[in-house]
Amino acid sequence: MAISKKSAQSIILHSFPLPGPYTGQTQLHTFATIDDVMWYYQLFESPDGTPTGTVRNYFDVQPNRNTYATRDDLYLIADVSPYLVSGTAGYGIDPLAVDASLIGWNWSLERIGQGTRNVDVVYVKTKVISGVLTDTTKDDTDATGWRLLIGGDLVGPNEEWCIHFLPQLQSVVSSSSTNIISAIRVLTANVTLDNSALRQMFWLKGGAGYFEVTLPDLATIPDNEPIYFESSGGSHVNVGLKCVAGQTIQWYKNAADLASDTRATRIILGQEERLAICKVTLDDSSSRYLLLYGGEGAQAVGEIIMDYSKIPHNTIPAAGQILSKTTYARLWEWVQNLEAAAKVSPGSYDTVSVLDGINYYVNRGKFSDVDSSSFRLPTLIAGSANGTGFLRMVDGTTRLVASLQPDGVPDHQHEQTIGTLADAGLGIFGEGAIRDKGNYNSHSLHKTDLTGKNGLIVGSVFQNTEKSTYEARPVNVGIYGLIRI
């Protein structure tokens, strides 16, 4: 017999030959110093005592969670094996000569050369009740033999039969381990975990900006066994925890996915973030990973933060810089799900709109997909980080963080007269003063007589002042504008 990890069934890790002769005896198989994970058990009919040949039985087993009792196939030869006599209609049909070793086991019957027999059609299981041989059900573990049902069907001389036993399962309440976390392992690069990951803590310390950890195949692990992850240290910005193909985590990227079948196939962690997951099997027999705790950082990605410091965890100044889609995988994944109005094509980021002679970069408040490997952040405010404690403004000036800038009242256009009009009673200005925009010279103005008299030209001095800035600036304090990555 042999065992291998459920996640790598072809790799035999422990095996040993079973003692003969094979007469249906109970075997106790004890393995020391093996991981408390799901294992794949195989029973071989081997020509040389090695784990090769024909597989006669196989099943999954998890040490310290469930105890399995297994039994080798029982091979019978008519007139050679006890309780099987040629010319009779079955096995152990004499109430005084039944096979009590079958009690406690569920089994199926094979007629060598003809295959597995159909219970309750070709044969029926039997047991002795009050000294009388009685037919019983196919799942009765107190059966001590069988009886052939088809008329004239008898056991032939030297005919071979085989009884195949199902394993017995006994559940135990607790594991031999009392530790919530059985071990801590450091991961620094791409890796695929197997079922030995259960109840372990994985310390994620990447050697590059991004790496991925593939979670164990759900088919190889039991329910309710947690796996822990701690992302801290190393050089990584993000680390992805992804499922194998076709499997999911019960976690949603955004509110639009709630109450739907849209579940995540990957959760990305930043620095100083942690989470725990476990497998859960639903009533429809489908399985997925359940998030036990964590994931808050992944939900907050894209958040705008105003801070006196530019070094809070998992943030970056939003100053129009170009970032790697791989290194900043979580933010890029979030950007792809934004509304179209928040994004702009690569060549349109620096589009200029001119208003009153002033250039406005109308798309710098948007994200831009630069190329296949990079994207650009928006410029959210006029100041961006520039060295320790300083902000560099769009106009090229610098200022200290937390410095106050007073109200800025811009120059703007007013029309004002200098001197006295010839006759205030002559009326008001006519259809408008003739002005030369930007020229500060005096002009002649046309006055209209409201009494019907002819209009007069009066010599008044009128000054026109052109504005030099176009936006009011409220009082403000210099501060860093950051975005959650």
pLDDT of residue 391: 65
pLDDT over threshold 60, residue 198: yes
Lowest average pLDDT, out of 19-23, 143-147, 234-238, 304-308, goes to: 19-23
- Work out the pLDDT band at 17, boundaries 50, 70, 90: confident
Q: In the Cβ-directed half-sphere of 458, how many Cα atoms lie within 13 Å? A: 25
pLDDT of residue 412: 57
Bigger pLDDT: 451 or 248? Answer: 248
pLDDT tens-digit series, residues 58-77: 888 766 555 677 888 999 99
pLDDT of residue 18: 81
Distance CA 134, CA 128 (A): 6
Which residue has tokens 């009128």? 462
Distance CA 446, CA 425 (A): 14
In order of their start, the domains of the chain are 2-69 (no CATH), 74-166 (no CATH), 183-300 (2.60.120), 304-389+478-484 (no CATH)
pLDDT tens-digit series, residues 325-352: 999 999 999 999 899 999 999 889 999 8
State the pTM of this model. 0.60
pLDDT of residue 449: 44
pLDDT tens-digit series, residues 131-189: 999 999 999 999 999 999 999 999 999 999 999 999 876 655 444 456 788 899 999 99
Distance CA 149, CA 101 (A): 23
Distance CA 168, CA 8 (A): 24
Bigger pLDDT: 385 or 276? Answer: 276
Residue 439's alpha-carbon distances to 342, 413, 457, 466, in angstroms, are: 42, 12, 21, 8
